[in-house]
Amino acid sequence: MSYKKAEKIGMYLKFFILLVFGILLMAPFVWMVSVGFDRSANIAMPFPPRLFPDDASGFNFTIVFENGRLIQSYLNSAFVTVTSVMLAVSSALLAGYAFSKGKFKGKRLLFVIVLCTLMIPMEPRLIPLYKLFNSVDLLNTFWPLILPSIINGMLIFLCKQFFDQLPDTIREAAQIDGAGEFKIFFQVYAPLAGPIAATMVILSFIGSWNDFLWPLVVLSNQELHTVPLYLASFSLENGTSLGGLTMALATVSVLPIIVLYLFLQRYIIQSIALSGVKGE
């Protein structure tokens, strides 16, 4: 067998394996959408599970979009998520640039401390954070959901690694022209950081939009509930009944993430490929 033929067979084999895994990953989502369009699922969940409903109907989605509590939870999640993403991405870009191109005492130690935060999950931080926000009387507000997102160790690490790929000669040329650090960052490096910024937007958006445990701890007022909290409360109230309506709610809850990913996917591919000007 020739080398080219073996390479072609290997390529087809990889494609087939990826296709199989892709179908397996998509099957639960397709089933969720299918049940959402199945009006009879409100009486009893279809068994065995089927990918396409026998009698498709938009009844469940009509009820969903007429639900005032869902709309309010959407607005709450949108405000929290957009604000958190803006703060997280902005601070990560600034910190990543400082750790990559800046020269100051204790830089390595500070960066190690940032990396150490990646090893601490959310659960051990729940009680200290709860006591902190309770002491300043910020419980049952959106601030406990927004402020902790300002410092994100993973995003800072990604930014630093991205800026490390950009040559220092760009910064030196700007300094020769008399530009200060903020001008260099905003006019030179920030425009080049589009791909990594898109990746960070996706990561922080998913983390904030899907966050359940922390909002459950700090929000007891139903008017402030986010989409995951509303979906959980709806499921608890109805148990195994209204399965079609529950799946319709779940489908609507993930739509913003899908739309955002489809919009930013080309930038994410660029960031994975480490696009940008490289220097020796």
> Are the C-beta atoms of 208 and 81 separated by less than 8 Å?
yes
- DSSP assignment letter at 118: G
Q: Are residues 44 and 125 part of one domain?
A: no
pLDDT tens digit sequence for 69-93: 888 888 999 999 999 999 999 999 9
> Are the C-beta atoms of 97 and 163 separated by less than 8 Å?
yes
Q: What is the pLDDT of residue 175?
A: 84
The token duo for 240 is 């195994």
Residue 45 belongs to a domain: yes
Q: Are residues 186 and 77 part of one domain?
A: yes
Q: Are residues 137 and 31 part of one domain?
A: no
Domain boundary among 40, 66, 92: 66
Q: Per the structure, how many domains does the chain have? A: 2
Domain boundary among 44, 66, 88: 66
Q: What is the pLDDT of residue 275?
A: 42
Q: Are residues 211 and 87 part of one domain?
A: yes
Residue 131 belongs to a domain: yes
| Distance of alpha carbon 11 from alpha carbon 7, whole angstroms | 6
> Are the C-beta atoms of 218 and 176 separated by less than 8 Å?
no
pLDDT tens digit sequence for 146-190: 999 888 888 999 899 888 888 888 888 888 888 888 888 888 888
Q: What is the pLDDT of residue 17?
A: 92
- Of 153 and 5, the structure prediction assigns the larger pLDDT to 153
| Distance of alpha carbon 278 from alpha carbon 167, whole angstroms | 6
Q: What is the pLDDT of residue 59?
A: 75
Asked whether the whole model's pTM tops 0.95, one would answer no
Domain of 162 in residue numbering reads as 67-272
Domain boundary among 66, 83, 108: 66
Residue 277 belongs to a domain: no
Residue 279 belongs to a domain: no
- DSSP assignment letter at 55: S
Q: Are residues 125 and 254 part of one domain?
A: yes
Residue 217 belongs to a domain: yes
Q: Are residues 164 and 78 part of one domain?
A: yes
Give the CATH number for residue 129.
Answer: 1.10.3720.10
Transcribe 34-52 into DSSP letters: HHHTBGGGGTS--SS--SS
3-state helix, strand, coil in the chain (%, to 5): 75, 0, 25
> Are the C-beta atoms of 271 and 195 separated by less than 8 Å?
yes
